[in-house]
Structure 1
Amino acid sequence: MIKTREKVINILIDNSDKYISGEYMSDILGLSRASVWKHIKALKTEGFDIKSKAGHGYRLHRKEKRGLSSYEIKHQLKTSYMGQEVYYFESIDSTNIYANTIANQAPEGAVVVSKKQTQGKGRSGKIWVSDYDQGIYFSTILKPSIPISRASFLTQVAGAALATSLEKLGVACQIKWPNDLVLNGRKIAGILTEMRAEIESISYIIVGIGINIGPKTFDGAISNVATSLANEGYQIQDLDLLRTFFIDFEDLYEDFKKRDYTRILGILKDKSAVLGKEIYLIRDGQKDKVFAENIDEYGNLIVRNELGFLEEIFTGEISIRGLDSYI
């Protein structure tokens, strides 16, 4: 039933500028007109604004403020497997939390998407609330056959893909190692990677991403470190971003699985907000000034400390800040 319903909504999406007759749809789908009507009725119940007109048929009425749907998202994703199974929620506690509940049964590339989170997850276990229409939040389930030690690098693979996608949409952002994207020196997106493993084998990895898209007011100290695409003058549609990102992510993820890191590292270095700069490393309550020199093939940040020695910085419980600003 779900597959047939997807076909029905896909026909309406592809022809949203006109009415499509029930007879045409029944011929294309091999259904009776009564069956087509039942699917239309079910789609209306799910929130689709479908107009019916005697003698003309059905038309999907698009509104800018209408929510997304799993059908529309999947229809837009021209990928081999990323996003070919989509779970969409208008509001959810956390896309990462839900992804964890379905990950064992879900296929690789399954995606959980929401427009609002009430228990968004950040690094160090931080919980935050995101209001509806201020961002887009999504988690991807991955099942790579890789050493456990390589799993954390997927955060940066996703960051490279997101920076590439935003550039295609006209937004020249940078990557703040290891898991943030910044625009004009302020954070617009964050990435959180979680893993479930058994001794030496990975069961699944979840890559969660949150992007500030719509107009948003940032209060207090956070106003100096965060912004949104809309606040910076960019009007990006959710579907455009998802479609572009998952094409780029699937592409770079395939490189990652083949252990070909050339393109990934090239993007990470080219888009880096920290390389070639003096920055502060904040760890265990201590603040050290270092010079960011490189990112190695494991995704580690290579810095030179004030004594002139090189040091590998691993992802984990460490923060990076600019000398006089967020970055």
Structure 2
Amino acid sequence: MRSKILEELYINKGNYISGEVLRTKLGVSRTAIWKHINALKEEGYNIETIPRKGYMLLEMKDKLLPKEIEALISNNAIGQQIVYFDSIDSTNSYAKKEANKLKDGTVILSEEQLLGRGRRGRNWSSPKGTGIWMSLVLKPNIPPTEGVKMTQIAAAAVCKSIRELTGLNALIKWPNDIVINGKKICGILTEMAGELNEVNYIIVGIGINVNTDGFSCELKEKATSLFIEGGKKIDRRELVVNILKNFEALYNIYIKDLNLDETLVIVKNYSAILGKEIKIIQGNLEKKARAIDINNEGLLLVQMDDGSKELISSGEVSIRGENGYI
């Protein structure tokens, strides 16, 4: 019932709709309407209530409310169903737990994460109302070996979207980080479940520091935000919409014939590491190399100090710049 009331408010957005009209349309009491309206207000919807006029939904720019986003991506398959939380432990954890019940293309969004995480179990700071903390639930008909490529599709989509929306010089630190001025602004965590020859689901988690105005001493040397880099607040909703649109475009091209070319154009053009000296970290082993290329499978081609060349898989290593994070 609550979603039906919200739908009516969106249809009449900018205008008042009376409790009597809602009661008649939805077949419930005005008391029930009032209770659901109050519940929606508690969820974060900005609803103005005036006696004898009724209820009016006001513009909301500071929250990532599902109906606002769904209305802006009506042509997207990814994002037609959005599950929204004011607070959650981790959007990826929820997506994995509920993946079998969720439709292909479902997006999990939260205003904050209490236990956000990155690759290799690292913690990811996700303060309330400042960033984009979301997970995409995908169920493509592709071989499980292809699932890892979702990370680079997501990286390309995020990098392209940030550049389009802000004009900032966002770059991709292969394979799963977006950086600006050598500091991390976004991390991507891809997780998959499947059988030997079949993907059950792929979860693509995306965490972006958008309007964060400061970091702890521990983080500020390697982390930044769009606000810190650009000096102005960013509409998080608009960025989410851009990312979902760009992701779907690249994703559809890829799953059609498993061709990663469109994604790799972006990944290479905006690479933070190609042509640079890097450190390859495998467990306790650390090697220096020069990043030369990214091949058609999304593997990183490097040249070692002895002149030999190796292909590096993203699942095997962490990449660092020669003198720091990048």
Whether these two folds match at TM > 0.5 is: yes
What amino acid maps onto 1:298 in structure 2? Answer: E
What secondary structure does 2:254 align onto?
helix
The Cα RMSD (Å) is 2.4
Q: Distance in 1 between matches of 2:114 and 2:19?
A: 44
Q: Per-residue displacement from partner, 1:226-278 (whole Å, max 9, x unpaired)?
A: 11111112421111011111111111110110123221110010111011111
Q: Distance in 2 between matches of 1:24 and 1:163?
A: 48
**Contact 1:22-1:37 within 8 A present in 2 as well:** no
Q: Distance in 2 between matches of 1:59 and 1:9?
A: 7
1:113-124 matched pairs, under 5 angstroms: 113-124=109-120
Paired position in structure 2 for 1:142: 138
User: How many residue pairs end up in the alignment?
Assistant: 320
1:84-233 matched pairs, under 5 angstroms: 84-170=80-166, 171-232=168-229, 233=231
What displacement does 1:312 show?
A: 0.2
Q: Distance in 2 between matches of 1:39 and 1:174?
A: 49
Paired position in structure 2 for 1:31: 25
Q: Distance in 2 between matches of 1:153 and 1:168?
A: 23
1:68 aligns with 2:67: no
**Contact 1:280-1:287 within 8 A present in 2 as well:** yes
Q: Distance in 1 between matches of 2:50 and 2:11?
A: 17
What displacement does 1:201 show?
A: 1.1
What secondary structure does 2:238 align onto?
helix
Paired position in structure 2 for 1:42: 36
1:311 aligns with 2:310: yes
**Contact 1:305-1:311 within 8 A present in 2 as well:** yes
1:5 aligns with 2:9: no
What displacement does 1:40 show?
A: 6.2
Paired position in structure 2 for 1:279: 278
* Residues 186 and 148 of structure 1, relative CA distance in 2, 3 Å threshold: same
What amino acid maps onto 1:203 in structure 2? Answer: N
Q: Distance in 1 between matches of 2:26 and 2:143?
A: 52
**Contact 1:195-1:202 within 8 A present in 2 as well:** yes
What secondary structure does 1:320 align onto?
strand
Paired position in structure 2 for 1:58: 55
Q: Per-residue displacement from partner, 1:53-83 (whole Å, max 9, x unpaired)?
A: 3454432234655x43222232232333111
What displacement does 1:5 show?
A: 3.1
* Residues 25 and 184 of structure 1, relative CA distance in 2, 3 Å threshold: farther
What displacement does 1:106 show?
A: 1.1
Percent of pairs identical after alignment?
37
What secondary structure does 2:114 align onto?
strand
TM-score of the superposed pair, with normalisation by structure 1: 0.89
* Residues 24 and 183 of structure 1, relative CA distance in 2, 3 Å threshold: farther
What amino acid maps onto 2:214 in structure 1? Answer: T
State which drifts further: 70-79 or 311-320. 70-79
State which drifts further: 80-89 or 218-227. 218-227
What displacement does 1:214 show?
A: 1.8
* Residues 9 and 245 of structure 1, relative CA distance in 2, 3 Å threshold: farther
What amino acid maps onto 1:247 in structure 2? Answer: K
What displacement does 1:42 show?
A: 1.3
What secondary structure does 1:169 align onto?
helix
Q: Per-residue displacement from partner, 1:158-217 (whole Å, max 9, x unpaired)?
A: 000111111120233000001000011100000000011122211000000000112243
Paired position in structure 1 for 2:233: 235
Q: Distance in 2 between matches of 1:286 and 1:68?
A: 42
Q: Per-residue displacement from partner, 1:7-66 (whole Å, max 9, x unpaired)?
A: 223225xx33xx33439976xx9816966885564133122231133454432234655x
**Contact 2:81-2:106 within 8 A present in 1 as well:** yes
> What stretches of structure 2 of length at least 5 have no aligned partner?
none
State which drifts further: 56-65 or 193-202. 56-65
What amino acid maps onto 1:10 in structure 2? Answer: Y
What displacement does 1:311 show?
A: 0.7
Q: Distance in 2 between matches of 1:24 and 1:35?
A: 9
What amino acid maps onto 2:140 in structure 1? Answer: P
* Residues 63 and 266 of structure 1, relative CA distance in 2, 3 Å threshold: closer
Q: Per-residue displacement from partner, 1:121-169 (whole Å, max 9, x unpaired)?
A: 2111223442212322000000011111111110010000111111120
What amino acid maps onto 1:238 in structure 2? Answer: R
